[in-house]
Amino acid sequence: MRSRTWDTFQRILSALVALPVYFFLIFFDKYYTVGILVLSLIVTLACLYEFYQIASAKGSSTPFVIPGLIAAFAINVIIYMFSFGRVYGFERYLTLFDVRIIFAVFIFLGVIISALHIVLRPLSDGIYALATTVFGIVFIVVPYSHIILMKALPDGIYYIFILHLVIMFNDSFAYFGGVFFGSHKTGFPVSPNKSWEGYFSGMLFSTVIIIFANEAFQIFFDRHLFSLFEAILLGMLLSLLGDIGDLVESAIKRDAEIKDSGTIIPGHGGMWDVFDALIFVFPVFYYYLKLKGV
């Protein structure tokens, strides 16, 4: 019990230190809103590096770390230029930073890592090295960098804030719900100790917080984001997507026989341990807003 109390204390202390910095970069609008680019770069590069370390521990052949990180950096810059080019008058450069250029990044990455593998490495396990290099970018970098696209939307800051509220409440109350009420284990091979009570607690409070936040934005900021029915469905959907993102990361870590993706954040583990729930949530929420006409 003492170990669990200390772990909880570390989680809370880390959140008190890191959250102000995280949200400062989200809200920072000076210097062409560069804060959102810096934030996306920090999160995606750190998570991608941790994924590469996990993949290296698992297989006899390792991903191409440096080319992968360079490609991840380029993708973030491309998405930033596409998102804020018209906002800040970069129209003449937009033809160079169309989102379709991301495909070019993947093509060049494929050529480079293939050539490096042929020249520098034995042919055995080449499929593993090439696949994990590209998969990390597709699975982590591209989805999370949608935070840049979302920030560029009208009222984008409100959508980002409400999304983070939902995921934080889902994660926190799933944890505490499981600790205090969890008696029916899910039996999932990837996380056998997780309970249905924990998942239900997370979904319940995620739905409650999005309803209250939606009403608060309308009352205090005159922003009507969602209808009540829409807020309820989104609370449940985002909670489910957050849980899936967490389970996928857990599956990858279990396959590599490690507990945490890193040690950079006390009480939480690595960066990917903290942001795993946002991996699927950002792109799904963003494209929902675009279909909604935002």
pLDDT digits (tens, 9 = 90+) for 207-259: 999 999 999 998 998 888 999 999 999 999 999 999 999 899 988 888 888 88
Residue 294 sits in the same domain as residue 166? yes
In a domain, 14, yes or no: no
Residue 66 sits in the same domain as residue 188? no
The pairs formed by 163-168 with CB atoms below 8 angstroms and a separation of 24 or more are 163/238, 163/278, 163/281, 163/282, 163/285, 164/23, 165/209, 165/210, 165/213, 166/206, 166/209, 166/210, 166/234, 166/235, 166/238, 166/239, 166/242, 167/206, 167/238, 167/242, 167/277, 167/278, 167/281
Mapped onto helix, strand or coil, the DSSP state of residue 134 is: helix
Q: Given 98, 128, 152, which residue is the final one in a domain?
A: 152
Residue 190 sits in the same domain as residue 250? yes
Residue 146 sits in the same domain as residue 170? no
Q: Given 122, 152, 182, which residue is the final one in a domain?
A: 152
Q: Given 83, 118, 152, which residue is the final one in a domain?
A: 152
Asked if residue 140 has pLDDT above 70, the reply is yes
Asked if residue 134 has pLDDT above 90, the reply is yes
Residue 137 sits in the same domain as residue 188? no
In a domain, 12, yes or no: no
What pLDDT is attached to residue 234?
94
**Burial status of residue 240 (CB atoms within 10 A of its CB: 0-12, 13-18, 19 or more):** middle
Asked if residue 104 has pLDDT above 70, the reply is yes
What pLDDT is attached to residue 4?
57
pTM: 0.89
In a domain, 5, yes or no: no
Question: Which of 175, 172, 199, 176 has its CA nearest to residue 187?
Answer: 199
First to last CA, the chain: 48
Residue 239 sits in the same domain as residue 105? no
Residue 83 sits in the same domain as residue 27? yes
Average pLDDT taken over every residue of the chain: 86
CA pair distance 133, 235, nearest whole angstrom: 33
Copy the structure tokens of residue 287. 């494209």
Q: What band does 267 get if pLDDT is binned at 50, 70 and 90?
A: low
With tokens 């042929």, the residue in question is 118
In a domain, 9, yes or no: no
Amino acid at 119: V
